[in-house]
Amino acid sequence: MNTTLLMPKLTVNPSLDFSLKQQINDTIDDLMARLPDIRELTSAERRGIIARYTAVLEGNFIYWMTATLLAVKSEDARPILLDNLHEEIRDAHPAMMRRFAVAAHAFPSEADALAVDGDLTKLRLFLGKLSGVQSILTMAFFEGFIQRFMAYLADLAKAQGSADMEYTDVHGVCDVEHTAGLFRALSVEMAINPLDPEKDLFEGVNLLRALIENIVFNRVATLPA
């Protein structure tokens, strides 16, 4: 991936980095293993997953990353978050997401948006606490999940008759570097702005996991948008 901002050389804690990555990867592995077989889904169920995903991502990812940028204290972490935001805005990823949903006949309806509203609100309120370490870990988890989820999302869209795979093609590649960058940012943020031991490091990860499970498993047959 070509970057537009100068990336600092960061010092990481290899032991901590490995431990957190392993826990995040285990969480992602569990989610991926439980994805429903696309061949067993109805058209309405396939559409619902795409629509709920779009309802969450199109208008919220940049907000989530911006909240994380506001939360961090490390000057070395900020360029990593800024680079991610720059790419999202420069390449109009929300517009890419919308085209993907429309091509799959899965533009979100009111019912789709309301289906994820409760879990989405909880995540928004969490990010509003502006906890740097928790927020970065949450976004690292999400970028890692997206990287793995894109092939499945593309197959859902293909089963819906879509040929527009720009969104899934782009994110299946760029989110590999995004995930690695966020773990580097996490290491330096933890060094200068450690989390209070009484707080749950995985609070945001657990909230985001619940939101993802709602996106995938809330099989409410909604009318086409």
Question: How do residues 168-215 score in pLDDT, each as one tens digit?
Answer: 999 866 556 778 889 999 999 999 999 999 999 999 999 999 999 999
* 3-class secondary structure, 165: coil
Cα–Cα distance measured from residue 140 to residue 183, given in angstroms and rounded to the nearest whole number? 6
Q: How many CA atoms lie within 13 A of 47 on its CB side?
A: 21
First to last CA, the chain: 35
pLDDT at 11: 41
pTM exceeds 0.85? yes
Is residue 1, in this structure, part of any structural domain at all? no
Question: How do residues 143-175 score in pLDDT, each as one tens digit?
Answer: 999 999 999 999 999 999 999 999 999 986 655
Is residue 175, in this structure, part of any structural domain at all? yes
Question: Which range of residues forms the domain containing residue 177?
Answer: 14-217
Is residue 5, in this structure, part of any structural domain at all? no
Cα–Cα distance measured from residue 85 to residue 223, given in angstroms and rounded to the nearest whole number? 33
Which residue pairs, CB below 8 angstroms and at least 24 apart, start in 211-217?
Answer: 211/56, 211/116, 211/119, 211/120, 211/122, 211/123, 212/31, 212/145, 213/31, 214/52, 214/115, 214/116, 214/119, 215/49, 215/52, 215/53, 215/56, 215/116, 216/31, 216/35, 216/36, 216/49, 217/36
Is residue 2, in this structure, part of any structural domain at all? no
- Map tokens 């032991």 to a residue: 15
The count of structural domains within the chain is 1
- Map tokens 């999940």 to a residue: 145
Is residue 8, in this structure, part of any structural domain at all? no
Is residue 131, in this structure, part of any structural domain at all? yes
Is residue 9, in this structure, part of any structural domain at all? no
CATH of the domain at 154: 1.20.910.10
Cα–Cα distance measured from residue 218 to residue 10, given in angstroms and rounded to the nearest whole number? 41
Is residue 6, in this structure, part of any structural domain at all? no
